[in-house]
Amino acid sequence: METIFTKIVERKIPSHIVYEDDLVIAFLDITQSTKGHTLVVTKSPYENILEVPENVLKHLFGVVQKLSKGIQHAFNPLGINLLNNNGSTAGQTVFHYHVHIIPRYDKEEITIKLNDTSKTITADDYKNRAAMIIAALS
């Protein structure tokens, strides 16, 4: 599967690479939603988090932390969002696993809204949902 990210990994298209090793590559997001917006991408084209081998995912998140510290030092943002979309319903547009590191300088730059349904969920709902997840892990 060839994606825009595999083209970057293979140097078929230019990018501003800030980190690279055997498993991952990181480069500035072309959108630059905020100054320093960086993508950390698996070199192998896993479609989503469900496909990434555990050792690669652990390594990738170590790199995410390292780069977040570098971005903090370089730009001194007031906060950092980590964003990962899995599946088109979740907003994934490039089906090659990646994590966005988005430095935040102002609360109004980007809107991330989570619906609060806690007032409509019963204690039994929580109990059943937790039990379903626990059972699925077995």
Listed residue (125, 136, 110, 96) closest to 1, CA to CA = 96
Query: How far is residue 41's CA from residue 30's CA, in Å, rounded to a whole number?
Result: 14
Query: How far is residue 25's CA from residue 43's CA, in Å, rounded to a whole number?
Result: 6
Q: Can you tell me whether residue 44 is helix, strand or coil?
A: coil
Q: Do residues 18 and 71 touch, judged by C-beta distance below 8 A? A: no
Query: How far is residue 60's CA from residue 57's CA, in Å, rounded to a whole number?
Result: 5
Whether 98 is catalytic: yes
Among residues 73, 96, 98, 100, the one annotated as catalytic is 98
DSSP helix, strand, coil percent of the chain (3-state; round to 5): 35, 20, 50
Q: Which of the residues are catalytic?
A: 98
